[in-house]
A = this chain, B = another copy of it.
Amino acid sequence: MSQFQLSMDPHDDVNHNVVNHNVVNHNVVNHNDDDEENDIENPGDLDFKEEERWGSMSERNMSSMKMPLLRKRTNTTSQIAVVGANSCPIESLDYEMIENDLFKQDWRSRKRVQIFQYVFLKWGLALLIGLATGLVGFFNNIAVENISGFKLLLTNKLMLEGSFFKAFLAFAGCNITFAAAAGVLCAYIAPAAAGSGIPEVKAYLNGVDAPSILAPSTLFVKIFGSVFGVSAGFVVGKEGPMVHTGACIANLLGQGGSRKYGLTWNWLRYFKNDRDRRDLITCGAAAGVAAAFRAPVGGVLFALEEAASWWRSALLWRTFFTTAVVAIVLRGFIQYCWTGKCGLFGQGGLIMYDVSKEVSSYGGYDILAVIFLGVVGGVLGAFYNYLIDKVLRTYSIINEKGPSFRVLLVIVISVLTTCCAFGLPWLAKCTPCPIDAGSKCPTVGEIGHYKRFQCPPGYYNDLASLFLTTNDDAIRNLFSNAIIREFQMSSLFIFFVAIYFLGIITYGIAVPAGLFIPVILGGSVYGRIVGRVFHSLSVLDTGLFSLLGAASFLGGTMRMTVSLCVILLELTNNLLLLPLVMIVLLISKTVADCFNHGVYDQILKLKGLPYLEAHAEAYMKHLVAGDAVSGPLVTFSGVERVETVVHALQSTGHNGFPVINEPPFSDTPELCGLVLRSHLLVLLKAKYFSHDSRLSGRDIRKKFSPFDFAKPGTGKGLKLEDITITEEEMNMYIDLHPITNASPYTVLETMSLAKAKILFRQIGLRHMCVVPKSQGRSPIVGILTRHDFMPEHILGLYPHMRQHK
């Protein structure tokens, strides 16, 4: 009722006396904020308007290799176009970034207990995410070290016995078994778990929820698939998957599993909104990086620089707490492992690739070498991205044919990788063991710099030392200065080419595959080669050149700056090298940016996820907001016939409908606000209908708690089919005011489209109302959603803009 008083108030005087305004009038504004907050999303529903649009788009640009995979095959393909999944279109989450509903409630009814619950739970969840991610990260490490350690020990033992064929069989058998295990898990149980997962997390935090990307099954497959994938000797990392794992854990904890958890479930109602979910996922992603690299500060910065689209300082604070917990958990476990109870995972502290012992003085020639390193690293990185894009597009054709084809592809790549790892070392000459070798030469165990391979006693094969070991140990070997001249140039070169191309062809297959380790590995070999070339001029350790090479290659592919810098710092514990790492990252990023986008952005685009960039395209400045509005606008009256509502919900896929007050409820037609599909469904289900067109808002409001409109977990929302409405009810009326968000964000139709887009993106909107400039017309011109700002859509409407893109 009170809301109506407000909207019917004759505000005819421009400078109306504000002091006399009664505050009680405004409770509704507050109430409606609550509603808006609880954006229920029905992930199964398809925005038909969107579908049509994508459909027409795809007819326009059939220039195959250039277009996003998803658009090309709108209805037949998966959301994970690259690996494929069950056919399901993309839908958008588009957050309304407003305060948590708890604090929105009337201060008269706000309960201290609830605030305590909320704050307690917020930090409790951060703690839990940290603990769980730390635990998983540790488990991951231990499992990989033990499984691949066992494999390598077996192979090494058979090699030392001289039975090369047996050794190959054992090696290949292990590899292919693990690879097939990872492939089967990934292809049959959770295709969304394939790949790095960072692009999907990034898209989620931008408001695009790819189906089942954070589901429990994905989490399960991500963890075990990653362990098997890395153990299978693929040139993949477990770091990207850890980020995804962290996000999945955060999502799972935030949802509380299922309804059967009683109290926990009840408390978790505070987190059933977009903003809190997004915050949790951000914490999870940061925790994932922290666990993967044992780099807590790097994790926070990664979340800030790469993952998150919206950031608040409160979030900095919470992610920082989460990663601190991860660091402490990891440190505790690692300390426990010093007792030798973790099997083959014995040594190693919090620093993964410690180079703090190496001398890091450098002179003018070193700076020159570093600049060269940066430039070439940038070019190599950009080329890497280019090739990955091409390979992913090719693989998607295979992956679409079905899960069995995906597993087959995994096995083929596994065989190829195995052959490279076991075959290429034969090309290397045997090197006599150095007299002053720090460690035993040739190595007996699974780690160590000096693998004997086919060599006679007293000799070692340097290429085998790189190939027949875990990726982590290979990086450690390359970073170390212990063996300055032990790697022959030819070996380094062979290893570089192999790793570079194996990394590219491995990424698109159906196993969880991180990009960090392949890139660091490739970069460190390349850096070592450059270091050897400049050896006579430079004073810097060759091991440090490796580190700089890794930095340059990382900068060239991922295009991050501060977070990479801090992660590398935390990985290697050598602060004195910081200025050089900064230069190299800056140069390689700048060079690579001349060619193409970062690898994650490229994958996002490739998958056709409607990622909303922070900036507006140049041509948008030549359009106004009214130009981007398209499709028929469906509006409701403040008190609407049930049949009209049901029909609108059935016939359109819109998630938001403007509500317009018309006489007799107002003097002139005016925009009352925006109502969400999900809230309409809740209201329809409750069946608070009346026989005549009258305001029944106050009664309705009493019967609902704000949490009735809380956003349910993925796939758990109400559907129109769940509601049965009789013929008689169809002719009744429903008062939409109680669930109408009376404060929608609006722009005038003459607002520059570029500015409208920036507004949309910065506030993190889901719907933006376009209102007319002149009077005497309908009070709303149209609604802009995320898809209306996509370049594809706008260029579709105005093809002549394309030339000025």
Given A582-B296, A616-B99, A23:B562 Cβ within 8 A? no
Q: Whole-angstrom distance from the CB of A278 to the nearest CB of chain B?
A: 16
Are B742 and A320 interface neighbours, CB within 8 A?
no
Complex Cα gap A579–B762 (Å)? 34
Which residues from B are CB-within-8-Å of A743?
Answer: 624, 748, 750-752, 755
Chain A, range 578-602, C-beta contacts under 8 Å to B: 578-579, 582-583, 586, 589
Q: Whole-angstrom distance from the CB of A133 to the nearest CB of chain B?
A: 15
Q: Is A16 located at the chain interface by the 8 A CB criterion?
A: yes
Given A324-B579, A576-B350, A671-B748, A626:B800 Cβ within 8 A? no
Q: Is A569 located at the chain interface by the 8 A CB criterion?
A: yes
Sorted nearest first, the 8 A-B pairs with minimum C-beta distance are A324-B582, A743-B752, A327-B579, A668-B775, A775-B775, A14-B778, A743-B751, A29-B752
* Cβ-closest chain B residue relative to A621: B30
Are A583 and B29 interface neighbours, CB within 8 A?
no
Which residues from B are CB-within-8-Å of A668?
Answer: 774-776
Q: Whole-angstrom distance from the CB of A651 to the nearest CB of chain B?
A: 16
Q: Is A405 located at the chain interface by the 8 A CB criterion?
A: no
Q: Whole-angstrom distance from the CB of A579 to the nearest CB of chain B?
A: 4
Are A562 and B104 interface neighbours, CB within 8 A?
no
Are A750 and B562 interface neighbours, CB within 8 A?
no
Chain A, range 602-645, C-beta contacts under 8 Å to B: 614-616, 618-619, 621-624, 626-633
- What class of interface size applies to chain A in its complex with B? 35 or more
Copies of this chain, tallied across the complex: 2
Complex Cα gap A777–B746 (Å)? 18
Of B23, B324, B746, B773, the residue contacting A747 (CB under 8 A) is B746
- Interface mask (A663-674 → B, CB under 8 Å = 1, otherwise 0): 000111111000
Of B11, B575, B778, the residue contacting A626 (CB under 8 A) is B11
Are B772 and A11 interface neighbours, CB within 8 A?
yes
Q: Whole-angstrom distance from the CB of A479 to the nearest CB of chain B?
A: 16
- Interface mask (A697-724 → B, CB under 8 Å = 1, otherwise 0): 0000000000000000000000000000
Chain A, range 380-401, C-beta contacts under 8 Å to B: none
Q: Is A435 located at the chain interface by the 8 A CB criterion?
A: no
Given A562-B300, A566-B297, A629-B15, A316:B324 Cβ within 8 A? no
Which of A163-171, A305-313, A727-735 forms part of the interface with chain B?
Answer: A305-313
Are A328 and B752 interface neighbours, CB within 8 A?
no
Q: Is A113 located at the chain interface by the 8 A CB criterion?
A: no
Given A107-B618, A586-B321, A754-B99, A763:B773 Cβ within 8 A? no
Q: Is A649 located at the chain interface by the 8 A CB criterion?
A: no
Q: Is A523 located at the chain interface by the 8 A CB criterion?
A: no
Can you report 5 residue pairs joining A to B where beta carbons are below 8 Å apart? A11-B749, A23-B623, A98-B755, A300-B562, A668-B776
Q: Is A782 located at the chain interface by the 8 A CB criterion?
A: yes
Are B622 and A27 interface neighbours, CB within 8 A?
yes
Complex Cα gap A356–B759 (Å)? 47
* Cβ-closest chain B residue relative to A780: B14
Q: Is A120 located at the chain interface by the 8 A CB criterion?
A: no
- Interface mask (A14-36 → B, CB under 8 Å = 1, otherwise 0): 11101101010011011001000
Chain A, range 747-805, C-beta contacts under 8 Å to B: 747-752, 754-755, 758-759, 762-763, 771-782, 797-798, 800-801, 804
Which residues from B are CB-within-8-Å of A431?
Answer: none
Which residues from B are CB-within-8-Å of A671?
Answer: 748, 773
Q: Which of A627, A747, A758 has the most CB of B within 10 A?
A: A627
Are A777 and B14 interface neighbours, CB within 8 A?
yes
Are B23 and A622 interface neighbours, CB within 8 A?
yes
Are B11 and A774 interface neighbours, CB within 8 A?
yes
Q: Is A267 located at the chain interface by the 8 A CB criterion?
A: no
Which residues from B are CB-within-8-Å of A157?
Answer: none
Q: Whole-angstrom distance from the CB of A102 to the nearest CB of chain B?
A: 11
Complex Cα gap A752–B96 (Å)? 14
Are A14 and B782 interface neighbours, CB within 8 A?
yes
Which residues from B are CB-within-8-Å of A801?
Answer: 23
Chain A, range 110-162, C-beta contacts under 8 Å to B: none
Complex Cα gap A798–B13 (Å)? 20
Q: Is A331 located at the chain interface by the 8 A CB criterion?
A: yes
Are B627 and A21 interface neighbours, CB within 8 A?
yes
Q: Is A48 located at the chain interface by the 8 A CB criterion?
A: no
Q: Is A696 located at the chain interface by the 8 A CB criterion?
A: no
Are A632 and B11 interface neighbours, CB within 8 A?
no
Which residues from B are CB-within-8-Å of A742?
Answer: 750, 752
Complex Cα gap A419–B572 (Å)? 47
Complex Cα gap A804–B107 (Å)? 7
Which residues from B are CB-within-8-Å of A629?
Answer: 15, 18
Which residues from B are CB-within-8-Å of A301?
Answer: 301, 562
Q: Whole-angstrom distance from the CB of A260 to the nearest CB of chain B?
A: 34
Which residues from B are CB-within-8-Å of A304?
Answer: 304
Q: Is A745 located at the chain interface by the 8 A CB criterion?
A: yes
Q: Is A488 located at the chain interface by the 8 A CB criterion?
A: no
Are A622 and B26 interface neighbours, CB within 8 A?
yes
Q: Whole-angstrom distance from the CB of A508 to the nearest CB of chain B?
A: 27
